[in-house]
Amino acid sequence: MTKLLQNFPQLQKHPFEYLTLFAILTAGLVFFFSFFAEPQLQRRVVYATAASYFLWSLYHHHRRGDLSPSIIAEYLLFALLGILLLTYTLF
Amino acid sequence: MNKLSRLFIPQKSNNYHALILQPSFLSLFIVLYLLNQSVLKSLTLLKPGVLGYSSEITVEKVLDQTNRERQIQALPPLRFNSTLAQSARLKAEDMFATNYWAHTSPAGVSPWKFIRDSGYKYSIAGENLAKDFYDTESLMKAWMNSPTHRDNIIHAKYEEVGIAVVDGVLGGIKTTLVVQHFGTPLVASTASTPEEKKLNSSFRPEAQVLAETSPLPVSEPLNPILIRKIVGGLIFGIIITTLFVDAYITLKNKTKRMTGSAIGHISFLALILVLILFARQGTIF
C-alpha cells in the first residue's frame, strides 16, 4: 500500500484531504442509489455532490497555496460537465 | 502532429497541461454538448416522432413478472382481465392523444373513469404507469423499488389485472407507455362502495394484458437517449483518457505545475460514469 502511494505523491502529501474527497463522492453514490425511484431527489444529490466537489477543490488548493482563477474555472467546468452528462442522460 | 499532441500531452508549449483539460477546451465541450441537446430538442418539436425508440416489453412479460413478485410474497397470482386491459389501453392512448404523463389527465379525467367506461365494476382499483423503459426487468425493478408502485403489485386485495404496452409519440418523442390497471370485481367482494386508491400513495388499478397492445413501430426511429449517450460518452472518453495520459506523463517527468488535481478529476468522473451505467432507465408514475 505504501509502495502504491509512493506513485501518487499528492495522495501521500494530503491523505486527509483526499479521504474527504472520497467520502464526499461515496456519500453521493450511496444517496443517489438510495433514492432509486425518486428522480427529483436523485437530481438534488447530483447537484450537491458536484457542489461539494467544487468546494473541496477550493479548500484543497487553498491549503496547497496554488488557488488561482484558472484552477477555480477548471473545477467549476468539470463539475458542470458532470452535472450535464448525468442529468441529460438520466432525467 | 505537434499541434495534435498539445491537445493530449503535457509539454512546454501547453504549459505542461493538456489543452483538452484547460478551461477553454472544457467550455468548448460543454457548448458542444448543450448544442447537441438543443438540436435533439428542436427535432422533437419540428419533426415529432423522428426521435424515439421501441422497447422489448410485452404484456405477457409484465404479467408474468408481476405474478412472480406476488408469488414471492405468498400471494395468489392476478388473473388477466380483458376489460381492465382495455381500460389500460384507453388510458395509454389518451396520454398519447392529449400529450400528458400523469394519473389524472389535464382535463381532470381520473384512471377510474377509464376503468368504469370499459365496463369493469370494481370494489378496489389501482394504476401503475411507466415510460421509456427498454426491457421488462428494468421496469419491474423500478416499480418494485417504489413503495407506492410495489404496494399495487403485491396488494393482497387485488384479484385481477389488465396491462397495456403501447407505442406512440409523447412530447414529440416516440416511446413505449406501460399501464397496469389493478382491480377486484365488485361481485367478488363484500364491499358495497368502490374503493379507489390514492394515486400517488398506495394503490393503483390493475391492468390486463391485451394481445394487440404491443405493436412495434414500422419505421426505426432515432433513439434520442442513445444519441445523448454516444455524444456524452465520446466527450467523457476523450476527457478521461486525456486525464490519465496527462497524469501519467506529469508523474513520470515529476513536473511541477499549477493545475487541478488529476486524482480529484478522475475520481469525480468515475463517480459520474458509475451513476450513468448503473442508474435505472425510464420513468414511473
- Of the pLDDT bands very low, low, confident and very high (cuts 50, 70, 90), residue B19 is very high
pLDDT at A10: 76
Tell me the average pLDDT across B109-132: 91
Residue B212 has pLDDT above 80, yes or no: no
Report the residue from B251, B258, B274 with minimal CB separation from A7: B251
Distance from CA of B162 to the nearest CA of A (A): 23
Interatomic CA distance for residues B28 and B254, integer angstroms: 29
Backbone φ and ψ of B202, nearest 5°: -110, -20
pLDDT at B167: 86
CA nearest neighbour of B11 among B234, B173, B249 = B249
The gap from C-alpha B162 to its chain's centroid, in whole angstroms, comes to: 21
Interatomic CA distance for residues B39 and B83, integer angstroms: 42
Torsion, CA B159, CA A38, CA B140, CA B73, rounded to 10: -50
CA nearest neighbour of B126 among B99, B100, B98, B91 = B91
Residue B95 has pLDDT above 60, yes or no: yes
| Chain B: residue whose CA lies nearest to A11 | B263
Residue A4 has pLDDT above 50, yes or no: yes
Tell me the average pLDDT across B120-135: 87
Residue of higher predicted confidence among B4 and B155:
B155
Contacts B261 to A, Cβ<8 Å? 10, 57, 60
Distance from CA of B258 to the nearest CA of A (A): 6
Maximal C-alpha separation, chain B: 84
Tell me the average pLDDT across B77-83: 94
Contacting B with CB below 8 Å, chain A residues are 7-11, 18, 21-22, 25, 28-29, 32-33, 36-37, 39, 42, 46, 49-50, 53, 56-57, 60-61, 66, 68, 70-71, 73-75, 77-82, 84-86, 88-90
Instruction: Count residue pairs from A and B with Cβ separation < 8 A.
Output: 110
CA nearest neighbour of B20 among A84, A67, A74 = A74
Contacts A32 to B, Cβ<8 Å? 275, 279
Mean pLDDT score of chain B: 81
Contacts B259 to A, Cβ<8 Å? 70-71, 74
Tell me the average pLDDT across B99-116: 90
Torsion, CA A25, CA A28, CA A33, CA A36, rounded to 10: -150
Tell me the average pLDDT across A74-88: 92
Is the Cβ pair A89, B228 closer than 8 Å?
yes
pLDDT at A1: 55
Residue of higher predicted confidence among B278 and B13:
B13
Is the Cβ pair A86, B30 closer than 8 Å?
no
Tell the residue number behind the cell numbers 450537491, with chain if given. A48
pLDDT at A45: 94
Distance from CA of B163 to the nearest CA of A (A): 21
**Residues B266 and B243 sit within 8 Å (Cβ to Cβ):** yes
Maximal C-alpha separation, chain A: 43
pLDDT at A42: 87
CB-based contacts of B60, cutoff 8 Å, min separation 6: B209
Q: Which three cell numbers stand for residue B176?
A: 413505449
pLDDT tens digit sequence for A11-64: 778 889 999 999 999 999 999 988 866 777 888 999 999 999 999 999 999 998
CA nearest neighbour of A20 among A46, A47, A65, A55 = A55
pLDDT at B215: 34
The gap from C-alpha B35 to its chain's centroid, in whole angstroms, comes to: 23
| Chain A: residue whose CA lies nearest to B34 | A84
Q: Which three cell numbers stand for residue B134?
A: 427498454
Tell me the average pLDDT across B169-198: 73
pLDDT at B279: 72
Burial class (CB in 10 A: 0-12, 13-18, 19+), B216: exposed
Q: Quick check: B29 contacting A, CB < 8 Å?
A: yes
- Of the pLDDT bands very low, low, confident and very high (cuts 50, 70, 90), residue B276 is confident
Is the Cβ pair A84, B145 closer than 8 Å?
no
Interatomic CA distance for residues B182 and B162, integer angstroms: 7
pLDDT tens digit sequence for B41-79: 777 667 655 656 656 788 999 999 999 999 999 999 999
pTM over 0.80: no
CA nearest neighbour of B129 among B147, B149, B145, B113 = B149
**Residues A25 and A68 sit within 8 Å (Cβ to Cβ):** no
* In chain B, residues 235-264 whose CB comes closer than 8 Å to chain A: 235-236, 239, 251, 258-261, 263-264
Q: How far apart are the first and last CA of chain B?
A: 53
Name the amino acid, one letter, at A43.
R
